[in-house]
Amino acid sequence: MSPEPEAEAQAPGAVSAELGVERWTRGTLERTTDLVAEEVPVALVYHDVPHVVMLATPADLEDYAVGFTLSEGLVARAEEIRGVEVSYGALSADVRITVAWERFTQLLQRRRNLTGRTGCGLCGAESAADAIRECGPVPAGVSVTSAALHAAIGELSGRQPINARTGSVHAAAWVVPGQGIKVVREDVGRHNALDKTIGALSRAHADFTAGYMLITSRASYEMVQKCATVGISLLVALSAPTAFAVRLAQRAGLTLVAFARADQHVVYAHPHRLTDQKRAGT
Instruction: Sort 214 into a burial class: Cβ within 10 Å, 0-12 / 13-18 / 19+.
Output: buried
How many C-beta atoms surround the C-beta of residue 6 within 10 A?
6
**Which of these is catalytic: 120, 123, 135, 227?**
120
Instruction: Sort 194 into a burial class: Cβ within 10 Å, 0-12 / 13-18 / 19+.
Output: buried
**What is the Cα–Cα distance from 131 to 152, expressed in whole angstroms?**
32
Range 54-75 burial, b when 16+ CB lie within 10 A, else e: bbbbbbbbbbbbbbbbbbbbbb
Q: How far apart are the first and last CA of the chain?
A: 70
Task: Give the angle subtended at the CA of 52 by the CAs of 232 and 67, to the nearest 5°.
Answer: 25
**What is the Cα–Cα distance from 228 to 222, expressed in whole angstroms?**
10
**What is the Cα–Cα distance from 86 to 234, expressed in whole angstroms?**
31
Q: Which residues pair with 274 in a beta bridge?
A: 144
**What is the Cα–Cα distance from 198 to 230, expressed in whole angstroms?**
8
Which phi and psi (to 5°) does residue 162 adopt? -70, -45
**What is the Cα–Cα distance from 151 to 144, expressed in whole angstroms?**
11
Distances (CA, A) of 18 to 2, 104, 166, 169, 268: 21, 41, 10, 16, 41
3-state SS, residue 89: coil
Query: Is 120 one of the annotated active-site residues of the chain?
Result: yes
Catalytic center residues: 120
